[in-house]
A = this chain, B = another copy of it.
Amino acid sequence: MAATPTPRLSELHAMRDQLQTRYAALKAAGLTLNMARGKPASDQLDLPAELMSLPGGADFTAKDGTDCRNYGGLQGLAEARQLFTGVLGVPADQIIIGDNSSLALMHDCVAFGLLKGTCDSQGPWVASQTTFLCPVPGYDRHFAICEEFGIKMINVPLKEDGPDMDVVEKLVASDPTIKGMWCVPKYSNPTGTVYSDQVIERLAAMKTAAPDFRLFWDNAYAVHHLDGKAAEIANIIERCAQHGHPNRAYVFSSTSKITLAGAGLAVFGSSPANVKWLLARMNQRTIGSDKINQLRHVRFLKDEAGLAALMDRHAAILKPKFDKVIEIFQRELGEWGIAHWTLPQGGYFISLDVPAGLAKRVVQLAKEAGIVLTPAGATFPYNKDPEDRNIRIAPSFPDLEEISQAAEGVALCVLLAAAESA
């Protein structure tokens, strides 16, 4: 978070007419800008252009001799799994390659939990109430899975170093219906939070009333630094095992923001027992994921060094966009002391907190001026931000010029909303 001076609300109120005039001019400019979703920009999608003509007509044989064009290979090619050992923090035999969506793997782990139970469950979760803990603000699509299946969600405050562990430990110790918790441990969506070693240690060690409690560890931004080198976080699977909870964490990631957002690889890593359990479930669902796409990725990325080099090129495109938003927020909002925003070192989002009760109004004002933001409330379960403060800013997709216009527009909307309410 940027440091914030004392709010100067009465001064803002006095500027109300002036702000309204500026807002009228913004509307008149007829912008059509979108900072709603964390989509890679077109020049990022150009980076893996080679992928589009791989693997080539005669190249279809995996290292072990598998003809990748045919059926089979439920767990994924060994060489593709090897690529993700660093990202997931487990050896290749504890990795499963899915289709193109890690969200789908998370959804299926929830659905299989409900219908079958985990490998540590007495029976299907659906037989009784199921509850998930949700660090907030968080990722709307995680919450949507719970809402779809009637899973009760409990908000947990996300602090600078991760979820508020005092709250988490107390809840999981006493409530056996708490079967899961959503975590984005690195460059969290939308705050950019990196879980500290202490927080991860406590998540691994804590006593849970449910013997089949699972951390849904969505390491979506594992290698997605903006500057320099990606942050290092503790290995959740190793930590859980050390504390006698070997099956506690399901780890997810994907290449959606590494290679292609629509055509990448999703990956799952966990304990041997969880991998065996998920393969046994998947075995009813499919004969195997797309091995040609796995081979294509192996040929293109080659190894972890190749993956890291590609991520530097993404960072070079993304960093100026994040810098621009933050520069404009600081310039336009900094002196007023009414808004806070994060200074992420990676990931795809900036989290903007406006005065309580104004997030919806700001998003509405922006929308009327042609700037689409993620709906206010989306970063909370049931789309309900209890304080109506948080707005997710997604600077990745527009170009720098559009970013400038959008950030200036959003800043003006924040000032105007505050002036209106002062």
A interface with B by C-beta (< 8 Å): 37, 39-40, 42, 45, 49-50, 52-60, 67-73, 99-101, 103-104, 107-108, 111, 114-116, 124, 126, 141, 144-145, 148-149, 256, 260-263, 281, 283-293
Question: Which residues of chain B come closer than 8 Å to A54, judged between CB atoms?
Answer: 53
Question: Which residues of chain B come closer than 8 Å to A260, judged between CB atoms?
Answer: 69-70, 292
Sample of 19 A–B contacts (CB below 8 Å): A37-B71, A45-B69, A52-B57, A53-B55, A53-B57, A71-B262, A73-B262, A100-B286, A103-B286, A104-B285, A104-B286, A111-B111, A115-B149, A126-B126, A144-B284, A260-B292, A262-B288, A263-B291, A263-B293
Determine whether the beta carbon of A285 is less than 8 Å from that of B72: no
Question: Which residues of chain B come closer than 8 Å to A45, judged between CB atoms?
Answer: 60, 67, 69-70
> Which of B67, B70, B290 is A99 in contact with, Cβ under 8 Å?
B290
List the 5 closest A-B pairs by CB distance, nearest first.
A263-B292, A49-B57, A101-B286, A107-B285, A45-B69
Question: Which residues of chain B come closer than 8 Å to A292, judged between CB atoms?
Answer: 52, 260, 262-263
Copies per complex? 2
Q: How far is the CB of A296 from chain B (nearest CB, A)?
A: 9
Excluding A45-B60, A71-B256, A107-B284, 10 further A-B contacts by CB distance (< 8 Å) are A45-B70, A52-B58, A71-B261, A101-B286, A111-B111, A111-B115, A114-B115, A116-B149, A148-B284, A293-B293
Q: How far is the CB of A142 from chain B (nearest CB, A)?
A: 10
- Residue among A50, A68, A70, A148 with the most chain B CB within 10 A? A70
Question: Which residues of chain B come closer than 8 Å to A283, judged between CB atoms?
Answer: 144
Question: Which residues of chain B come closer than 8 Å to A99, judged between CB atoms?
Answer: 99-100, 286, 289-290
Determine whether the beta carbon of B262 is less than 8 Å from that of A101: no
Q: How far is the CB of A252 from chain B (nearest CB, A)?
A: 13
Q: How far is the CA of A70 from the CA of B260 in the complex (A)?
A: 6
Question: Which residues of chain B come closer than 8 Å to A101, judged between CB atoms?
Answer: 285-288
Question: Which residues of chain B come closer than 8 Å to A59, judged between CB atoms?
Answer: 52
Q: How far is the CA of A263 from the CA of B281 in the complex (A)?
A: 21
Q: How far is the CA of A99 from the CA of B287 in the complex (A)?
A: 12
Q: How far is the CB of A360 from chain B (nearest CB, A)?
A: 23
Determine whether the beta carbon of A281 is less than 8 Å from that of B70: no
Determine whether the beta carbon of B39 is less than 8 Å from that of A70: yes
Q: How far is the CB of A164 from chain B (nearest CB, A)?
A: 27
Known A-B contacts A107-B284, A126-B115; the reply to A290 vs B71 at CB < 8 A is no
Known A-B contacts A52-B55, A293-B263; the reply to A285 vs B100 at CB < 8 A is no
Q: How far is the CA of A340 from the CA of B285 in the complex (A)?
A: 32
Q: Which residue of B lies closest to A292 (CB)?
A: B263
Q: How far is the CB of A171 from chain B (nearest CB, A)?
A: 24
- Residue among A40, A99, A144 with the most chain B CB within 10 A? A99
Question: Which residues of chain B come closer than 8 Å to A288, judged between CB atoms?
Answer: 101, 262
Q: How far is the CA of A290 from the CA of B42 in the complex (A)?
A: 17
Q: Which residue of B lies closest to A285 (CB)?
A: B107
Question: Which residues of chain B come closer than 8 Å to A107, judged between CB atoms?
Answer: 284-286
Q: How far is the CB of A150 from chain B (nearest CB, A)?
A: 9
Question: Which residues of chain B come closer than 8 Å to A293, judged between CB atoms?
Answer: 263, 290, 293
Q: How far is the CA of A277 from the CA of B158 in the complex (A)?
A: 35
Q: Which residue of B lies closest to A71 (CB)?
A: B261
- Residue among A71, A73, A104, A261 with the most chain B CB within 10 A? A71
